[in-house]
Amino acid sequence: MIYTVKENIKPEGLNGISNDQINDHWNLYVAYVNQSNALKQELEALRLEGKASTFAYADRRRRFGFEFAGMALHEYYFANLKADVELNEESDFSVAVKEAFGSLQAWKEDFINTGKSRSIGWAICYMDSETGDINNHFVQLHEEGNIPSFHPIVVMDVWEHAYMVDHKAGGRPDYINAVMSNINWETVERRYKDAKSKLASQRD
């Protein structure tokens, strides 16, 4: 199988995030797709050559984790961006957030603070598939810090490349505010319901 670029999730016309910024960022996503495919082929070739126990294979396998997670997180990110979608405060996601954080505002403040972590990485709101609980976490790089059986519900890229076209290096707070005004809450709700429907796949 081959991974393909998901053209249907490319956002445009966002509030406070220019199409130039998205186009630049999109090219990086395309590179992750291409690199994932190239590494998958390289790993297969090494296996067929009987080199699966070599240092080279182990190195390429780790690299595949980076490239694949980079591809997947960018897909979650771009797909949850859309201008002018109102959050339904009675949605299943909103109810779960209020249960976990006390209020939507408290969750939002925590998610924003997660995005302001002093590192490149990702702010991710997850649902714990075993308990249904909502958690905000910071993931460095792409493949380090993702939590087993947590499903991504809201994903925000806070690598500097995500905002350097529109803002300078210190512009992360403005960028985060822009992202928060462009969350596609309909996608978020669908992800939450999909994750909840998988509650049967518990870890035990």
* Contact flag: residue 143 with Fe ion (CB under 5 A): no
Q: Which stretch binds Fe ion (CB under 5 A): 98-106, 113-121, 130-138, 153-161?
A: 153-161
As measured in angstroms, the least distance from the Cβ of 29 to Fe ion is 7
* Contact flag: residue 110 with Fe ion (CB under 5 A): no
Q: What are the distances in angstroms from CA 93 to CA 69, 103, 156?
A: 24, 12, 17
**Which letter, b or e, does each residue of 110-125 get, where b requires 16 or more Cβ atoms within 10 Å of its Cβ?**
bbbebbebeeebbbbb
Q: Which stretch binds Fe ion (CB under 5 A): 110-118, 155-163, 178-186, 196-204?
A: 155-163
Among 67, 75, 110, 157, binds Fe ion (CB under 5 A): 157
- Residue list 66-85, contact with Fe ion (CB under 5 A): none
As measured in angstroms, the least distance from the Cβ of 10 to Fe ion is 13
Cα–Cα nearest to 158, from 111, 182, 123 = 123
Q: What is the distance between the alpha carbons of residues 24 and 16, in angstroms, rounded to a whole number?
A: 15
Displacement of CA 169 from its chain's centroid (Å): 21
List contacts with Fe ion (CB under 5 A).
157, 159
